[in-house]
């Protein structure tokens, strides 16, 4: 009889990785040994991506060249953008992204070449083109023309520029950059594991990343930022939080989106950093309504026996929803931003999987009947 105690593969270790370490008991996260707090304070998203792909920090010259190459790779051909124009305007942005990344794979001459250098080049193109696709869809669905990337801007700044068609505001760019750095990798989360499963079949990088986008979309994973923001909006403001908590959470057992985590049984270090940025943005913009709503609900949960017993804390999606909304990101565009960031981790894990691959193929514990007598169709 197979062991099914690891339902949801909880606690199951399936491979070694040098990419990120999640210490759920202590609430610590490291990329290639570097503390997430240091990365959030000092690194650009490009620098964090270089680290994840190469297992070391770049020199200044390497980072400049790498940042420049990414800016150059951000361009997406007009005929690809035209495909987006034909999609129904109410298509979920994650559905659009999933299709467009898959399409990019059909247009990349190196798709079937999975040599390490080819995979690195494709990883760079994927990282670079995703923000362009995300920003283009945000504009197309609003009936506006997409904006081409600029060669002189880093990835976070370029994204804000392509989204808003205005000179990027440094405070906004910093917040977007911190967000992208913080979500770049996180052990064998559901979407990263999905990308590894596809890779383990000797599948190409585009197939692996397309599948990962599908896994990220759900509200138990990346979709939680969208779900959290919609929940804050439904609450409507800090004055309604207590009522929401008592009636819906305590009374009806409704889950608070953005709270709880499979691995963290201590505060999620990314949420701690993002909370500070959410507060700073609320102070600078003078719009503190959503921050206060989120903070008040978080405080009620943290003081409640049910949440304390289960060690449920705000996860990365909780305060990132406030950060992103303050940056002008609509709730359903939030998970695509998560994908923009996690693209670094997915591709790093795919490259690592290729370097030491074995087909990932677990077993199922069959619990049905056997040897049923065959009944002819006319007799059923
Ligand atoms: C993240 C999540 C899917 C983890 O799931 P999991 O590891 O399978 O943990 P469980 O769902 O079994 O949760 C353990 C217990 O805490 C409760 N719980 C978990 N998250 C909760 C939440 N957000 N609000 C209220 N209760 C919650 C569960 O009901 C369960 O209670 P029980 O032991 O009485 O049955 C879950 O916490 C969740 O759905 N959170 C909201 C969505 C979210 O923020 N996802 C993003 C994750 S980064």
If we measure between CA atoms, which residue out of 186, 179, 141, 185 comes closest to residue 159?
179
Residue 35, φ and ψ in degrees, nearest 5: -65, 140
Q: Are 205 and 244 contained in the same domain?
A: no
Protein residue with its CA nearest to atom 18 in ligand 1 = 260
Name the residue of 182, 192, 249, 260 whose CB sits within 8 Å of the most ligand 1 atoms, as the mutation to test its pocket: 260
Q: Average pLDDT of 248-256?
A: 97
Instruction: Establish if 269 belongs to a structural domain.
Output: yes
Q: Residues 266-299: pLDDT tens digits?
A: 999 999 999 999 999 999 988 899 999 999 999 9
Domain-located, residue 139 = yes
Active site residue 23: no
Q: Say if residue 192 is in the same domain as residue 51.
A: yes
Q: How many domains does the chain have?
A: 2
- pLDDT at 4 (0 to 100): 58
* CB neighbourhood size of 21 (10 A): 15
Which CATH number is 315's domain given? 1.10.230.10
Same-domain check for residues 215 and 264: no
336 and 295 in a single domain? The answer is no
Q: Are residues 350 and 206 in the same domain?
A: yes
Ligand 1 residue neighbourhood (C-beta within 6 Å) = 8, 219-220, 224, 255-262, 310, 312, 315-317
Residue 206 lies inside a defined structural domain of this protein: yes
| Residue numbers of the domain that contains 212 | 16-219+332-355
Are 58 and 90 contained in the same domain? yes
- Digit-coded pLDDT (tens) for 18-65: 999 999 999 999 999 999 999 999 999 999 999 999 999 999 999 999
Asked if 40 and 132 sit in the same domain, the reply is yes
Q: How far is the CA of 346 from the centre of ligand 1 (A)?
A: 24
Strands 20-23 and 34-35 turn out to be unpaired
> Do both 256 and 342 map to the same domain?
no
Instruction: Mark whether 152 is an active-site residue.
Output: no
DSSP string covering 287-356, please?
A: --HHHHHHHHHHHHHHTSHHHHHTT--B-HHHHHHHHHHHTT--GGGHHHHHHHHHHHHHHHHHHHHHHT
Q: Which of 261, 268, 277, 298 is catalytic?
A: 261
Q: Quick one: which atom of ligand 1 is closest to the CA of 228? A: 44
**Average of per-residue pLDDT across 230-244:** 98
Is residue 373 a part of any domain in this protein?
no
């Amino acid at each position: 009889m197979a062991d099914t105690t690891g339902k949801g593969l909880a606690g199951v270790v399936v491979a070694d990785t040098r990419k990120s370490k999640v210490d759920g008991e202590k609430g610590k996260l490291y990329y290639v040994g570097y503390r997430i707090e240091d990365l959030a304070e000092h690194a650009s998203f490009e620098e964090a991506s270089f680290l994840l792909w190469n297992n070391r920090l770049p020199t200044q010259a390497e980072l400049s060249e790498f940042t420049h190459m990414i800016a150059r790779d951000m361009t997406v051909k007009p005929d690809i953008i035209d495909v987006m124009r034909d999609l129904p305007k109410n298509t979920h942005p994650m559905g659009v992204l999933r299709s467009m990344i898959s399409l990019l794979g059909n247009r990349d001459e190196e798709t079937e070449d999975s040599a390490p250098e080819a995979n690195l080049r494709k990883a760079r193109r994927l990282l670079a083109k995703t923000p362009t696709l995300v920003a283009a869809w945000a504009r197309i669905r609003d009936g506006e023309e997409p904006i081409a990337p600029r060669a002189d801007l880093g990835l976070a700044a370029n994204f804000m520029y392509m989204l808003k068609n205005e000179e990027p505001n440094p405070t906004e760019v910093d917040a977007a950059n911190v967000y992208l750095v913080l979500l770049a990798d996180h052990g064998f989360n559901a979407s990263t594991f999905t990308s590894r499963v596809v890779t383990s079949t000797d599948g190409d990088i585009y197939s692996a990343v397309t599948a990962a986008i599908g896994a990220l979309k759900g509200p138990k994973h990346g979709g939680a930022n969208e779900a959290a923001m919609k929940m804050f909006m439904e609450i409507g403001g800090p004055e309604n939080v207590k009522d929401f908590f008592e009636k819906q959470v305590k009374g009806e057992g409704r889950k608070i989106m953005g709270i709880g985590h499979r691995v963290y049984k201590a505060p999620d270090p990314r949420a701690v950093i993002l909370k500070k940025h959410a507060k700073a943005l609320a102070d600078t913009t003078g719009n503190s309504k959503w921050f206060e709503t989120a903070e008040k609900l978080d405080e009620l949960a943290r003081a409640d026996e049910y949440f304390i017993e289960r060690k449920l804390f705000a996860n990365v999606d909780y305060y990132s929803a406030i950060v992103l909304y303050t940056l002008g990101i609509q709730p359903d565009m939030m998970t695509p931003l998560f994908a923009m960031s996690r693209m670094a981790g997915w591709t790093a894990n795919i490259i690592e999987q290729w370097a030491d691959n074995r087909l990932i193929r677990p077993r199922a514990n069959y619990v049905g009947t056997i040897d049923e007598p065959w009944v002819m169709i006319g007799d059923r």
